[in-house]
Structure 1
């Protein structure tokens, strides 16, 4: 379930300078610094296994974990070993710097390094793996470094992690920066991230897993958003399975929900890689920062900005009403509202697809017309075209109502998708007619060109011959 405060719309009167700076720094660090982590990992693990260190050190590593009473971790690593995932196990072993220090002290007692190469090579491998961004600058509870409480906020575990965090930061951050000021926003943002990292480290004090990401900081920003508006009723966007829409509620009413949701997830999703406690720490810090500032009567919040009425997009308001009907299972009312919006604003793909989805529930009224409107729609994007293809496949009984011109146009458009089997089926329908469509030869030529690009010579030659016979 996603619930995001959306009371304010972006405007250049309150340019979010610090927000843009933070987003830019995160993107630059990910693509120009963290991009080398994969190569470092590959080189280190390949060298470690090819020289033979893993087979020699694995028994020693197990004894080391036993000496530390890390029974849960040992059981987890034994499972990985039984699965034969030695690369992952090598990473866990190499990323444990305490184990390396243990080896340095006990190497003469535990392993015969003369059989597997010089110790200098082992040190070089360790240095390379430890230079990976998450190990060098992420928060490691078992080796907590105060510097990493700042640096981990600008690192991410992948493109999806980065994009997701930056989306939530931008959606919530610009309003918070406008309300509390540039410098205070930056300081409060960093403090929230520090709090998130600290709570994560305290709860997972023996864990070797590094924390990276701006989630704690962003949770703090979301809490600050609620704190800025306090008990004022503001707009929230929600997405719960198929239910999407907006509602209004006192801002601070959602804070216990946010924190409770993170705590519930922490105790129920025990195998998740999400740092729920970092989120919780951020929420608590962000709300406390605003609360303490207000209690001290500091002029933290720009009340004029908070109270400023926001112009609501009429189109968005109408869509919100439609989704509100859907949420309440009032499908007839939702359909009526969709038809009104189409009549007033014109047909867009999203509106036509929404109308089709509502009519599909009972397949009544204008269901056939809703299909035809989708099939014949012009100027659509590839993702929209993919949806239209699925609509076509889901409704074989409706194919007969598309005339030859419309069938050919649809087939032509579908030939631009990565999988052109549906386009080919449409061609077959037209080719089976005794009287061939005047443009069918051009359609055949199109399919020939597509198959040539797919390096399918048989299909390319087939459609080339058909095109030659028709043109």
Structure 2
């Protein structure tokens, strides 16, 4: 059974760069560093079989497995024992070789008991051929070289093991869940703190697993401990808020809602239970439990200081914003239908402040202000809407607003020469020369000599380009005429 929180959706306007970087790092490590494992394993098997080491070690391996079952209580080893006997009966040397060189516990057993297992000549032969295979090939396989081995624990391994994986299925499964959780936690914490917290969770989960397997030669690889840390952080961030969870059971899947923190003890109990009762699955359940505890614990301990959630994280999701907008917009429009224009104006102003990316709100404010053409608010809205339409390359709408204002608002609150000048340049760029001439007249009436001369020159040049001689001469004459008193 798989249960994953999926409350948030990806906001690609703010990509989760740290999460994507971790995924890319795991992929590159798998392809280019772990890609050499197959070659090393093949060489180890070839050398092993060439030296006929399976003839020496196979009887010892049978004894080793029997000891593990009878003395150590590892009943799961019975399957390995039966498979090994079947391989010996079928003379499947290749399977035997792979099994024997892949069991680091067996190699330690041979080293400790070689004096008892073999005569001096056999022991010398084994050391001469088996030691180079172990040191030069097997020890360079990624899981042993950079994985987390409790018997040889190093600080660097607590980080490096998080980027190793046991195969494509292991890698892809972890990366999918890393992405599903990572983009939300990264958005909450910020990329830098998210990355540090992720690695710390992986280190803690590795220590927990190593503590319960102290002295064991088997390596731990994979990002699942770190990802479990993200799950712990995820539910701790949301606290008792009800959030969505995705669950997968066999072939059935669905969503349910529950308080986020309720799932933390459920996950912890499941991992501990699986550790004791799930059998030999090869899954490091205690590493998962350690990651869960580490992630939630860090948020609780440091959530008001270093690991504080960013305020932007609590901004509503796009779907929620759209729903709120639609509701408020409908209310404002209903006020217009009721002829309550003042209340409609207040509601549209509030919406415009919250949603400056929706110019249709400014259009409504402009139409409402136009009801009082003698008001200064009408001029301010006309000016604001002209600027917005110009920025949005809606020149035609900008010129419409300017012309409309000339007939309604200009007599009461004239636009400034700078306003007219912006409209003049917009009309020239769009080829609306008739409008440009009208704007020129308004600009000329404002008495700004510098802007008027510049506009006159531009009009003359534009008409000359179009070979409209009379018009061009008219504006040349205006340029040469003496300025009025």
Compute the TM-score of the two structures, normalised by the length of structure 1. 0.59
The answer to whether the aligner puts 1:90 opposite 2:93 as a matched pair is no
1:228–1:306 Cα contact (<8 Å) kept: no
The match for 1:190 is 199
The match for 2:33 is 33
Q: What whole-Å deviation, never above 9, does each CA across 1:145-196 have from its counterpart, x for those lacking one?
A: 3321111100000101000000000011011011011111111111111122
Q: What secondary structure does 1:33 align onto? A: helix
The match for 2:22 is 22
Which of residues 214, 230, 235 in structure 1 aligns to 2:223?
214
Equivalent residues in 2 for 1:48-87 (5 A)? 48-59=48-59, 70=72, 72=74, 78-84=81-87, 85-87=95-97
Q: What secondary structure does 2:270 align onto? A: helix
Larger Cα-atom Rg: 2
Query: Displacement of 1:218 after TM fit?
Result: 0.3
Distance (whole Å) between structure 2 residues aligned to residue 277 and residue 133 of structure 1: 22
Distance (whole Å) between structure 1 residues aligned to residue 320 and residue 250 of structure 2: 26
Q: What whole-Å deviation, never above 9, does each CA across 1:330-371 have from its counterpart, x for those lacking one?
A: xxxxxxxxxxxxxxxxxxxxxxxxxxxxxxxxxxxxxxxxxx
The answer to whether the aligner puts 1:249 opposite 2:252 as a matched pair is no
Distance (whole Å) between structure 2 residues aligned to residue 205 and residue 108 of structure 1: 26
The answer to whether the aligner puts 1:145 opposite 2:148 as a matched pair is no
Indicate the larger mover: 271-280 or 108-117: 108-117
* Change over 3 Å in CA distance of 1:270–1:114 after alignment to 2: closer
Q: What whole-Å deviation, never above 9, does each CA across 1:349-405 have from its counterpart, x for those lacking one?
A: xxxxxxxxxxxxxxxxxxxxxxxxxxxxxxxxxxxxxxxxxxxxxxxxxxxxxxxxx
The match for 1:305 is 313
2:40–2:141 Cα contact (<8 Å) kept: yes
Which of residues 123, 130, 134 in structure 1 aligns to 2:131?
123
Indicate the larger mover: 81-90 or 56-65: 56-65
* Change over 3 Å in CA distance of 1:114–1:256 after alignment to 2: closer
* Change over 3 Å in CA distance of 1:107–1:264 after alignment to 2: closer
- 5+ residue gaps, structure 2, are 88-94, 323-485
Q: What whole-Å deviation, never above 9, does each CA across 1:262-317 have from its counterpart, x for those lacking one?
A: 122222211211111111111011000111012x5456101331342341699xxx
Which of residues 138, 163, 171 in structure 1 aligns to 2:172?
163
Compute the TM-score of the two structures, normalised by the length of structure 2. 0.57
* Change over 3 Å in CA distance of 1:122–1:14 after alignment to 2: same
1:45–1:90 Cα contact (<8 Å) kept: no
Q: What secondary structure does 2:258 align onto? A: strand
Distance (whole Å) between structure 1 residues aligned to residue 97 and residue 190 of structure 2: 48
Query: Displacement of 1:225 after TM fit?
Result: 1.0
Equivalent residues in 2 for 1:167-182 (5 A)? 167-182=176-191
2:64–2:109 Cα contact (<8 Å) kept: yes
Distance (whole Å) between structure 1 residues aligned to residue 66 and residue 252 of structure 2: 50
* Change over 3 Å in CA distance of 1:165–1:22 after alignment to 2: same
- 5+ residue gaps, structure 1, are 315-471
The match for 1:275 is 284
The answer to whether the aligner puts 1:240 opposite 2:243 as a matched pair is no
Q: What secondary structure does 2:193 align onto? A: helix
CA RMSD in angstroms, aligned pairs only:
3.1
2:104–2:217 Cα contact (<8 Å) kept: no
